[in-house]
Structure 1
Amino acid sequence: MVMGEPRREEYKIQSFDAATQQLLKTALKDPGAVDLEKVANVIVDHSLQDCVFSKEAGRMCYAIIQAESKQAGQSVFRRGLLNRLQQEYQAREQLRARSLQGWVCYVTFICNIFDYLRVNNMPMMALVNPVYDCLFRLAQPDSLSKEEEVDCLVLQLHRVGEQLEKMNGQRMDELFVLIRDGFLLPTGLSSLAQLLLLEIIEFRAAGWKTTPAAHKYYYSEVSD
């Protein structure tokens, strides 16, 4: 990092008002000086409203957790964060009914947290089933008819699918049965949704990697 260059976490803070920016900057530098439960709520609330932020918030949460453990050896922030994720998870159907964008943001956020947060270099077991449940919801027929939800499902599987499969391979098999059924029984599936589902089926079949031929085929199709 160049001297004087702001850290990546600080770029993401720009979308908040001045008081919240200050709260988050302090949480990153001196976590003991702020109410970390409030910080967790601020980050979750903003993630549910801002899909760009929800894709990157895991990095900020990880940085705050690291700073807190070095300073105080505690996990107030992580506990507050997981409590809020649990609350939103329990009310996920109401969230989806109220705001499709909020629901997509939530799934993006919880997958991002799962991707970044580690305990002894392992993904957090407590998040495995909630993340799976969210992905299963995205693979239901009424979700597959909405491009935003298909897009979210495929993006998150690209991001955390391989990790999830290592944690629980049986549930990944079950999820891909739903995805294949959705692809083969196209009731109201757009051509883009079909393409995305086929791409993720082939991506997993290739060991969670994109072959050069597949990359050329899918990404030329999407750009066309």
Structure 2
Amino acid sequence: MGDPGREEYKIQSFDAETQQLLKTALKDPGAVDLEKVANVIVDHSLHDCVFSKEAGRMCYAIIQAESKQAGQSVFRRGLLNRLQQEYQAREQLRARSLQGWVCYVTFICNIFDYLRVNNMPMMALVNPVYDCLFRLAQPDSLSKEEEVDCLVLQLHRVGEQLEKMNRQRMDELFVLIRDGFLLPSGLSSLAQLLLLEIIEFRAAGWKTTPAAHKALVVKSLQQFM
């Protein structure tokens, strides 16, 4: 994790100048404006959902490179400041762009997954991540497959870590999810299946049961038939 050579493939979607900026940040972070680098990564993550799923690894690599070179945390500070700004404006972001909102949730969960302090998840991100997931579990969000899909994917990725950090909030989140699953209308059949699968996933100790996995695959394939 964090090998700069593995990050370069993610840089190809940027223009030539930005590609050079990011490549330099990975190899010689002291030679570039790392706050600018943080803003570039966040901005791109809000517009590119594919990039937002993997950007955490790049951020981790830059943080590691900066730490080894200068023992500082300019990039991490800039990244967290920008995440906080977007977090505070999350309702406006969702109203403006559902895709941008889904990308943001994906990105902040990805960052939570990769960034560590003393080999532990960052406490500063626990409640913001929970708040984003709680928003995805509201009835108006559960009526949109994009948000249900995002909720389930992120719980697969970071649910177990989040539960270890705050079990009570995870219990509260799953009350919302169960209530949402029982909504009399407004949920598509795929959304219902996804919610049922994540309920079973947590009940099985954050492991997918063979039956649930098979049902999810079959149902997903049916959407394209």
Could you state the TM-score of these two structures normalised by the residue count of structure 2? 0.94
Stretch of structure 1 that moved more, 183-192 or 60-69:
183-192
Cα displacement (A) at 1:211: 1.6
* Structure 2: runs of 5+ lacking an equivalent: 215-221
Mark the CA change 1:135 to 1:36 in structure 2 (over 3 Å): closer, same or farther: same
Post-superposition offset of 1:51: 0.1
Structure 1: which 4+ aligned runs deviate by more than 4 Å? 3-6, 221-224
Counterpart-to-counterpart distance in 2, 1:187 and 1:139 = 15
Structure 1: which 5+ runs fail to align?
none
- Alpha-carbon distance between aligned partners in 2 of 1:138 and 1:4, rounded to the nearest angstrom: 30
Q: 1:5 to 1:30 in 2, by over 3 A?
A: closer
Verify: 1:28 aligned to 2:29, yes or no. Answer: no
Secondary structure of the equivalent of 2:54?
Answer: helix
> Deviation string for 1:40-98 (max 9, x for gaps)?
00000000000000000000000000000000000000000000000000000000000
How many correspondences in the alignment? 218
Identify if the C-alpha distance between structure 1 residues 73 and 97 changes in structure 2 by more than 3 Å, giving closer, same or farther.
same
Correspondence for 2:92: 94
The answer to whether the aligner puts 1:190 opposite 2:191 as a matched pair is no
Cα separation, partners in 2 of 1:10 and 1:185, compared to 1, 3 Å: same
Q: Is the 8 A contact 2:142 2:148 kept in 1?
A: yes
CA 57–4 in structure 1, closer or farther in 2 if over 3 Å, else same: closer
1:152 aligns with 2:150: yes
What TM-score do you get using the length of structure 1 for normalisation?
0.94
Cross-structure match for 1:223: 224
Q: 1:187 to 1:67 in 2, by over 3 A?
A: same
The superposition leaves residues 146-187 of structure 1 with CA deviations (integer Å, 9 ceiling, x where unpaired) of: 000000000000000000000000000000000000001232
Q: Give the % identical residues.
A: 95
Q: 1:5 Cα deviation (Å)?
A: 11
Deviation at residue 222 of structure 1 after TM alignment? 6.5
